[in-house]
A and B are shown apart, each in its own frame.
Chain A
Amino acid sequence: KAGVTQTPRYLIKTRGQQVTLSCSPISGHRSVSWYQQTPGQGLQFLFEYFSETQRNKGNFPGRFSGRQFSNSRSEMNVSTLELGDSALYLCASSLPLAGGQNEQFFGPGTRLTVL
């Protein structure tokens, strides 16, 4: 069974640009979450999607957005990039069971560098 895939793996952008990252969950997984990982802040939750709806959102500015398609694939978008957006962006998928009990399976991440 294929794992979570993320594209691209590496990305270099300049301040002010926008970027779109893609995530394909494990087959059958309908919940997709996004996390930002930086040396200073660690792993922080961005948002979670289920059935094309954003169910939960972390404490990030509106420049960070996302969406989910009918096949459960998800994209996240960051507009007007800032230097502080440089990070490893991790996508995770899980089965849609209630209660927060599911383990999330993570992709390899997209390393975004903003110059």
Chain B
Amino acid sequence: AQKVTQAQTEISVVEKEDVTLDCVYETRDTTYYLFWYKQPPSGELVFLIRRNSFDEQNEISGRYSWNFQKSTSSFNFTITASQVVDSAVYFCALSEADDSGAGSYQLTFGKGTKLSVIP
């Protein structure tokens, strides 16, 4: 069974500090997809990034960057120069490929990391 672990329950940083959110996953499959979502206080989950298991290239998008390492089954997320608007709960999620090709799948989420950025 697939599993996602986000060991950091809560993190507080001062504005402009860099912060890394950890994500470790477990899966039996060789083909899978990893996601990060942000949940602000309003409650709606906002998609941030998707990474497939065959692409270990790190990605940078503005102040956000992601480090995917299959050797350690980790998919960590770094926010550079954090801002108050980054305060939210961040979820890492895993989706395994559907062998039947029918496209049926489900996201397995970690418990989330609550990030508080203090001005």
Contacts and interface: CB of A to CB of B under 8 A. Distances in A.
Contact of A48 (B44, B104, B112): B104
Q: Tell me the dominant secondary structure on chain A's binding face.
A: strand
Contacts of A104: 47, 107
B68 interface: no
Interface in B25-83: 31-33, 35, 37, 42-47, 50, 52
Given A105-B47, A106-B45, A108-B44, A100 B111 contact: no
B33 A101 contact: yes
Contacts, number: 78
Interface residues of A, number: 29
Contact of B98 (A43, A58, A99): A99
Q: Tell me the dominant secondary structure on chain B's binding face.
A: loop
Contacts of B103: 31, 50, 55, 96-100
The residue among B52, B91, B105 with the most chain A CB atoms within 10 A of its own CB is B105
Interface of B: 31-33, 35, 37, 42-47, 50, 52, 91, 95-98, 101-112
Interface of A: 31, 33, 35, 42-45, 48, 50, 55-56, 58, 88, 90, 92, 96-101, 103-109, 111
Chain A to chain B: the 4 pairs with minimum beta-carbon distance, closest first: A100-B105, A55-B104, A106-B45, A100-B95
